[in-house]
Amino acid sequence: MEFLSGAYLWIVAAHVIFVIFWMAGLFMLPRYLVYHQEALVAGRAEEAALWVEREGKLRAIILTPAMIVVWVLGLTLATIGHHWGEGWLHAKLLFVLVLSGYHGWAVGYAKTLARGVMRLDGRRLRMINEVPALAGAVIVVLVFVKPF
């Protein structure tokens, strides 16, 4: 990994770019789920089918590839920068795991909605949509302030 040390700032830049892509997808997919569920509740099957297609494209083109690149680049940065012993990194990784789990939950819920099954009401679905913003804010503080 030492051969990548000279590219550290380029890797940081790429990491931040893909974090932005991933976060955009994490904000968009739950909103799509709200619209999808509303179409199902209203009995608009054609519209619901369009949301299934949109959700699939978002997952395949942006969301999942960006998450994979974020993890690869983030772990690379932690290794190059010798950050493994630092508490802020452990806390950050915990929140990134939470976001990854949220990602998995949203993908799973999209597949559940595609089968016509609604497990949450619209209010709860909208509230869950705030998870990425809260986790993202904590991650930014951990990375830049490094409180421990």
For residue 83, the one-letter residue type is H
| 57 assigned ligand-binding residue | no
**15 in a labelled binding site:** yes
Q: How many CA atoms lie within 13 A of 32 on its CB side?
A: 26
Question: Taking phi first (over 0 means left), then psi (-120 to 50 degrees means alpha), and beta for anything else, what does residue 118 get?
Answer: beta
Enter the tokens of residue 68: 């994979």
**Which parts are annotated binding residues for heme?**
15, 92
**Which parts are annotated binding residues?**
15, 92
